Chain A
Amino acid sequence: MTVVAAAGNDGVNLADSTPAAYPEVLTVTAMGDFDGKPGGLSTTPPCQDGRQDDTAADFSDYATPDSSEVDHTIAAPGVCITSTWNDGKTKTISGTSMASPHVAGLVARCIEAGPCAGLSPAQVIARLRADATSRPADQGFAGDPNHPIDGKYYGYLASDVGY
């Protein structure tokens, strides 16, 4: 079984947070994506938390470049995410716990759709990271390895192309 974990919301090195630090999991950092398009075009976030479109979330834990955590880290939208709530309604909140379900869903789709069928968890993690890395640089976000911020590694934005 492939395990997907939220990086954590303390804005610190995820090497000090578990299960994010475990090399056996796919660790997900959070970035803002308010319109489903690259380029930071949206100036009207769907919630009022002061964060920006196509930019790494400042609350998200991160890996340090050249660390072993880089090898199992990927990014997904985790700012102003609307989902079901335990009162039968919906709620819009931010956090890496809102980013990781995007990637868990991608893992399921990749397995169901074929590219990840029959792969080991380590191979699934490698596949999703490889597909994210192959995303054109101009479809990334401020904070990804093509546009680093303060030496923090948030990973490449997960991609669902082909799943």
Chain B
Amino acid sequence: MSLGGEGSDDGHCGKTDGDAFHVAICQVTAAA
């Protein structure tokens, strides 16, 4: 399964552009 698409980094873990996918990735990487 592949998950992805067009988009870019907002520099704020998805909080600025409302990117839920980015928010989720930041949460799991921060959890270490």
The residues of B that contact A2 with a CB separation of less than 8 Å are 29
Name which residue of chain B comes closest to A13, CB basis: B8
Quick one: which of B7, B13, B32 contacts A18, CB cutoff 8 A? Answer: B7
Please give the distance in Å from A31's CB to the nearest CB on chain B: 19
The residues of A that contact B26 with a CB separation of less than 8 Å are 22, 24
State how many residues of chain B have any CB contact under 8 Å with chain A.
18
A contact patch SS: loop
Name which residue of chain B comes closest to A96, CB basis: B2
Quick one: which of A6, A22, A68 contacts B25, CB cutoff 8 A? Answer: A22
Contact between A6 and B31 (Cβ–Cβ < 8 Å)? no
Contact between A1 and B7 (Cβ–Cβ < 8 Å)? no
> Interface readout for A87-130 with B: 1 if CB under 8 Å, 0 if not?
00000000001000000000000000000000011100000000
Contact between B2 and A18 (Cβ–Cβ < 8 Å)? no
The residues of B that contact A21 with a CB separation of less than 8 Å are 7-9
Most buried by A among B3, B28, B31, B32: B32
